[in-house]
Amino acid sequence: MKIIDITEALGEKFPLYYQEDFDNSGSQILFKDEQLKGVYVCLDVSLETVEDAVRNHCNLIISHHPLIFRPIKNIISDDVRSRIIVRLIESKTSLFSLHTNFDKFAYGYLSEFLGFGKGEVLLKKTLAGEEEIGLGSFVVLKSPLTLQSLLELTKNKLELDTVVYTGDPVHTIKTIAFLNGSGGSSVEKIIDLFNPDCILTGDIGYHHAKFAIDAGVALIDAGHFATEIIFKKLLAMHIEDIFIDRESTSIIISQLERNPFKIYQGANE
């Protein structure tokens, strides 16, 4: 099987026209006629993940976050992104990214992962001649729970050391909006559309929090990393489906990636 065979199959399964306008999903670096040796699945592309892919004899990396978002104006040896690109090219490792087009396909995965079911699409977009698609999910709980219980569940399921939140821990939660990744900028829009009891997302800013507090909506900032690292296994499953009735190929899920943020608890920790 050639590299182009799997990237075209992924493009058909997760159409690139589903992606957001700002996005750059799809082929980042492609040696399309090379024979596929192995697939390496990761959240982010770094020198560490590229070296791990090469070490595991994978010549195709499929990442969630694109390495290249904007046009590249130059390649400079001491620039970290340039070094990653050079390493990919010299090792003949292809890179294909599935970002917001995959998010829309898996819009309810975060809420399902936390045990609340798929729900309905949160931020909807209708494409001409296509079904309604979108990002995130809105769930009406079968049994209400307290914000504190939701915080505990989120912490445990997403394997977090701490959880940032706003609201009263004893507040009753009946409806939740879930949006993986950088959902802080959508807080006001979500409240206007659904007015949920709680929004669970990542990258929430100060003004987003103030708006939600004034609106009486609790927020849980579980972080960009924690709400998206869980997508790697789902992505690997869909890649495996493409290999059914084709030649066997190894699929490696990166085990190296860690949350870039740490918590400092003082000198006596």
Provide the CATH number for the domain around residue 31. Answer: 3.40.1390.30
Q: Which domain holds residue 14?
A: 3-102+229-253
Mean pLDDT of the chain: 94
Q: Which amino acid is residue 113, in one-letter code?
A: F
pLDDT band with cut points at 50, 70 and 90 for residue 70: confident
Q: Are residues 183 and 236 in the same domain?
A: no
pLDDT at 125 over 90: no
**Mean per-residue pLDDT, 4-20:** 94
234-269 pLDDT, tens digit per residue, is 999 999 988 865 667 899 999 999 999 998 888 875
48 in Cβ contact with 256 (< 8 Å): yes
Q: Are residues 149 and 233 in the same domain?
A: no
Residue 178's beta-bridge partner residues? 137, 200
Q: Are residues 95 and 115 in the same domain?
A: no
pTM above 0.75, yes or no: yes
Would residue 268 count as lying in a domain? Answer: no
The 3-state DSSP class for residue 63 equals strand
Q: Are residues 145 and 89 in the same domain?
A: no
Give the model's pLDDT for residue 130.
Answer: 66
Q: Are residues 115 and 200 in the same domain?
A: yes
* Paired sense of beta strands 198-202 and 172-182, if any: parallel
The 3-state DSSP class for residue 138 equals strand
Phi, psi torsion values for 39, nearest 5 degrees: -115, 135
Phi, psi torsion values for 245, nearest 5 degrees: 70, 10
Q: Are residues 98 and 143 in the same domain?
A: no
14 in Cβ contact with 133 (< 8 Å): no
Q: Are residues 211 and 172 in the same domain?
A: yes
Longest dimension (CA), the chain: 61
Would residue 259 count as lying in a domain? Answer: no
Q: Are residues 136 and 96 in the same domain?
A: no
Count: domains in the chain: 2
Residue 211's beta-bridge partner residues? none
- A 10 A CB-CB count for 153 gives 15
Q: Are residues 218 and 110 in the same domain?
A: yes
Q: Are residues 45 and 72 in the same domain?
A: yes
Q: How many Å apart are CA 173 and CA 199, to the nearest integer?
A: 10
Q: Which amino acid is residue 73, in one-letter code?
A: K
pLDDT band with cut points at 50, 70 and 90 for residue 193: very high
Residue 126's beta-bridge partner residues? 132
What's the per-residue H, E or C state across 237-251? HHHHHHCCCCCCCEE
Q: Are residues 36 and 62 in the same domain?
A: yes
Give the model's pLDDT for residue 266.
Answer: 87
